Amino acid sequence: MAVKSMTGFGRGEKAKGGRVWSAEVRCVNNRYLDIKIKLPRGYAALEERIRKKVAVAHQRGRVDLLCTVGGDFSDLEQVSVDVELARKYRDAFADMAVTLNIDDDISVSQLAAYPDVIIREQQTEDLEDVWQSIESAVDNALAGCEAMRLDEGASLLLDLRERLGLFVGNVEKIEALVPKLMEKREKSLRERLDKLLDKVDIDPLRIHQEVAVLTDKTDVTEELVRLRSHLGQFEGILREEGSVGRKLDFLIQEFLREVNTLASKINDAETAHITVDLKSELEKIREQVQNIE
């Protein structure tokens, strides 16, 4: 399983027909998939195609994709002359010259300077042809982002395994101390009962039963078993394909629930630092899990 981070960046370019298309992808942590796409004016019709490509590459995270284009657009410029309008301007100037008895010296350049004589039109691009360039730039950007996310994911996985090892070590310390803790707890309960029931005639068997019940209520064996089970599930999820971050995040909550119960049941000054270490490592693990897709 290749764990992926939700943080990454990628850039791609495609040059064609004198123009250069560029695409940049930036992604950060987010609980769900949130895609923001910015395209140059006039290309909004292609946004949905890009969105689908991003959704295939990303299952979670905030993804911002920016497409830009630069280069020569002269092939889209069309210039024409409104000859009829120019003729009307010329005739009007000729009539003016006769009426005012002045020379008619109007030139082509002067006529061209008058409104609407020269017509500039922007031709519409073939979006299917444009899509080939944008798609190539976007694919390259997504591939670059994917490589960065995989590299970051590999680092996250190493750190998680190291922290899980520390967590397991603390669990093992508690497991080793449980018999001693239970013995200590039972002895303390007996001493307290003996003191409270001094000079009271009670069946020793009943006292033994009460001590056993009270001791059982503070037994952490079940919590330790569940923690071991959660650890196995955690490792199994790390080996799964696809998006695993949400599953890991949920499992961390289960870890925390067991650790809190464990700490409250043990309630022993000598071992309190171990449960504190458990919570500390668990919080660090949780922070790393927040970065996993």
- The pLDDT of residue 30 is 93
**Six token digits for residue 30:** 């987010």
- Measured distance CA(76)–CA(122) in Å, rounded: 6
* Contact in structure between 12 and 57 (CB atoms under 8 Å): no
**Six token digits for residue 249:** 């995040």
Task: Pick the closest to residue 129 from 21, 271, 268 (CA basis).
Answer: 21
Q: At what angle do helices 221-238 and 245-266 cross, to 10 degrees?
A: 160
Please provide the DSSP assignment of 242-264 as one string.
Answer: S--HHHHHHHHHHHHHHHHHHHH
- The pLDDT of residue 32 is 92
- Whether the predicted pLDDT of 121 surpasses 90: no
Q: What is the mean pLDDT of residues 268-282?
A: 85
- Whether the predicted pLDDT of 210 surpasses 60: no
Strands 118-122 and 33-38: unpaired
* Contact in structure between 102 and 70 (CB atoms under 8 Å): no
- How many Cβ atoms from other residues are within 10 Å of residue 145's Cβ? 25
pLDDT tens-place string over residues 165-203? 999 999 998 888 877 776 776 676 666 666 766 655 555
- The pLDDT of residue 237 is 92
Task: Pick the closest to residue 15 from 125, 180, 140, 150 (CA basis).
Answer: 140
The CATH architecture to which 8-71+132-150 belongs is 2-Layer Sandwich (3.30)
- How many Cβ atoms from other residues are within 10 Å of residue 163's Cβ? 18
- Measured distance CA(96)–CA(102) in Å, rounded: 8
- Measured distance CA(264)–CA(173) in Å, rounded: 17
Task: Pick the closest to residue 193 from 214, 203, 207 (CA basis).
Answer: 207
Q: What is the mean pLDDT of residues 108-134?
A: 82
- Measured distance CA(164)–CA(289) in Å, rounded: 12
- Measured distance CA(62)–CA(27) in Å, rounded: 5
**Six token digits for residue 61:** 């995270």
All structural domains of the chain with their residue ranges: 8-71+132-150, 83-116, 153-289
Q: Who contacts 235 (Cβ-Cβ below 8 Å, separation ≥6)?
A: 164
User: Is the entire prediction scored with pTM above 0.85?
Assistant: no
Q: Assign 122 a pLDDT band (cuts: 50, 70, 90).
A: low
Biggest CA-to-CA distance, the chain = 143
